Amino acid sequence: MKHREELRRIFRRAKKLLEDPDNWIQGRLSANRMNETCEIDHHTACRFCLMGAVVRAKIELGHRDVDAIRVLWDTSSEVNDHGAVYQFNDHPKTTHEDVLRVLDSAIVLTAP
């Protein structure tokens, strides 16, 4: 049960990081406000792809050992159809709304 709660917190935090469409990016894990690539854990990182947001949420919440990316992949047929989280995020037809929908699904599926 604790593991599911950790996952749910991670997915909720990742969604919060991506709520603003300007904070969602494609083609890299993270960027700063100037749209320059930076490390996920850098204090200026504020724009993320789906995978970057999940990893950043894991770091912020102190759950580095939780394999949320695999769970996200396993729980979403949209992501699964692309073969990898980054391929789904970076696909030209993927929209910000698609990314939020995947996170919503993960949040529901990890509910107690």
pLDDT in tens, 43-75: 999 999 999 999 999 999 998 777 888 888 777
Name beta bridge partners: 30: 48
Domain that holds residue 91: 2-109
Average pLDDT over residues 80-94: 87
How confident is the model over 11-39, as a mean pLDDT? 98
How many residues comprise the chain?
112
Side chain identity, residue 40: I
Query: Number of structural domains, the chain?
Result: 1
d(CA 94, CA 49): 11
For 61, the 3-state DSSP assignment is helix
Are 33 and 44 spatial neighbours (Cβ–Cβ below 8 Å)? yes
Share of the chain above pLDDT 90, in %: 70
Structure confidence at residue 1 (pLDDT): 52
pTM of the predicted structure, to 2 decimals = 0.92
